[in-house]
Structure 1
């Protein structure tokens, strides 16, 4: 376990926010923190897992600021990389280096340049082979907003996006310039899930994450195959607040700051989500229907000192499965994350893989027999001095083997070192 950081260093880190998930310090308000908390004891042990390393996947280009990797559901092995500044490429991660353009959205992204602005996600409809539909999450300005849209792709075994078919499903106006989240994917139930941040900046100043009548700081669940009233999407009848007039019916779960890395476990169907913290904590959540994960009444596993009174009295909250802290020098900004269910690395079976953008560390979180509580953290990789590795997503290839997207434009496999040495 790393030794605790000096208090002066801790104080300097308290203003940082996250991976492709923050705005520069100079535009953030200064907040006085009267007392730096004592360094908490580790809640679970940590140990290195030997024999594991990263291998860069070879391409004749870089994929600048990749934010998501989604599988084209055609069975030909292609996956689409979404890049923050508007480029989407279909690639094969089989070592062939094959890539082709899927969608060029860079014109749409002109003038979108702040650290968190841009493309945030792509998800293909479960019936894509029949209906050719896919979904995008991205930001726009004037007014500043998150856009969720539907688009069609061409027929054939090498589909490309058809931008003229875009249909806007949802626009969420953003009060400030960061904490937008934006990852989206389809669940095993066929519904579209979307993770949204609190809208920024520090301390969730408008208390949006706990406000049940706004969509900020929430995980949403939408039925893209139906329509409810005049909405361009449907509300699943079993959404937890579908019949509650006091809560937006799109909400599946709430209380998130800046969620990044939304994934379903292919075996259990559990929904996992990493949430980027503010000053002290980075956390991993097992997201359940109707649950409240605390922000900004809570910060990680603790009560938030900046909001001593809950927005809504007597609110029950759910603790994270695991949280690590900047006070021990463990990292700065968490990046999710998925449960490993591949075949090539049996030692990782059933573990949650995640990383830290700021430190370039990759971990595997060992869970209890129920698969819901952390019992040990294994270090798979620590960034070498001089390395450009800044993970933006821990995901998987078409076979379920782990892939790391990195902000500098590279993709990496997680492999046994013996295999890497043979290449």
Structure 2
């Protein structure tokens, strides 16, 4: 008798190949004149946690003599310089100091490569420096390209100067993932404490993930990947870590570390425990925060947030254990529309945040701290750190940290912010 997993796998592989070859135009579209079911409005769920205001913390804009055009990522140079590099969506990268001096300098101008990449979610998505950057000068970027539409993960070198500049002529492409549509890219990248590069990828777009790419074990969409940039596996330009959860599986892409994501935005590792955290942008109802574990399935698109999705009657892979988010908030209560991650705070200047996951909502401009019970690992409280004033053009694109682990926020309006102790 055929294994249902294997049968499902080959069915998935076939449909994924057809979809990626022909694009969404070949998808069956219901006859607009035929009767359509009337959706039942979902019930508004009870709040999982009480919400409170946390006093003593203020959001302060950092002074620079320029704007940073749609910043999407901030990565620290792993040396003693104290510099961090801001990656901007349209291809500019700047090295900055977040010490209040307002110092910045060009690091990489990739704008010519991004020419014609203008849609809302297209462009640069991430940057990460090799843990041994001081020795090898290597760093990695994630960005989108067209004709064909694809996500590119590549390696590049920087100069050996005390204030290094990128050397774009050294670019080496590691991975290219075909993309059906120009949204749900994901694309954040980060090195883990194990020295491996982690890559977050979205489901490729379209409502409801109709091709079930996030659950398909033979495509990389809707997954968190883990690769070894210091080795090679066969003809691949990178290595597959031997302890990857599916490294010995023939029916799963070996790069996959975890699956079942819609549009993951904000990878971060707990500086104390090494645990990987990830925010995942929802579709209609839920925005979620996940602790990402090896081999785990986070449910999309069989589930959205903590609930079963209304648009897929049956689970895609039979008998699949699904891991619930650590926390989810919902549009049904008007809490927000687009989560951005996110870091587990381990700094020194804001002790009231110790062990809390700090995250924000792009649409509402709200910043929260999710208190985590250290014994159970479950959320115990949710505190509001900042609510956007109506006149404030604040749309956070990332919550991350400076070189000392203190919270920094990037905003689509071109500004960088800090969360600081309120001395007033």
Q: TM-score, normalised by structure 1?
A: 0.91
- Aligned-pair Cα RMSD in Å: 1.3
Q: Which of residues 383, 386, 398 in structure 2 aligns to 1:378? A: 383
Any conservation in 2 of the 1:177–1:201 contact (CA below 8 Å)?
no
Q: Which of residues 236, 239, 243 in structure 2 aligns to 1:238? A: 243
Highest RCO, 1 vs 2 (Cα 8 Å, sep ≥ 6): 1
1:323 matched to 2:328? The reply is yes
**Aligned pair in 2 of structure 1 residues 346, 357: CA closer, same or farther (>3 Å)?**
same
1:300 paired residue number: 305
1:173 paired residue number: 178
Q: Deviations over 1:41-71 (max 9, x none)?
A: 0111111101211110000000010000000
Distance in 2, matches of 1:93 and 1:177, equals 33
Distance in 1, matches of 2:241 and 2:249, equals 13
Q: Which of residues 78, 98, 104 in structure 2 aligns to 1:99? A: 104
Any conservation in 2 of the 1:340–1:400 contact (CA below 8 Å)?
yes
* Partner SS for 1:331: coil
Shift of 1:372: 2.8
Any conservation in 2 of the 1:241–1:249 contact (CA below 8 Å)?
yes
Distance in 1, matches of 2:418 and 2:153, equals 30
1:291 matched to 2:270? The reply is no
* Partner SS for 2:214: coil
Shift of 1:370: 3.6
Distance in 2, matches of 1:342 and 1:369, equals 17
Q: Deviations over 1:382-419 (max 9, x none)?
A: 0011100000000011111101100000001101221x
Distance in 2, matches of 1:38 and 1:348, equals 33
Structure 1: gaps (5+ residues): 1-28
Q: Which of residues 71, 77, 80 in structure 2 aligns to 1:72? A: 77
Question: After superposition, where does 1:209-358 map in structure 2 within 5 Å?
Answer: 209-358=214-363
Distance in 2, matches of 1:106 and 1:95, equals 27
Q: TM-score, normalised by structure 2?
A: 0.91
Any conservation in 2 of the 1:282–1:325 contact (CA below 8 Å)?
yes
2:155 paired residue number: 150
Structure 1 segments of 4+ aligned residues over 2 angstroms from their partners: 29-33
1:205 paired residue number: 210
1:363 matched to 2:368? The reply is yes
Shift of 1:276: 0.1
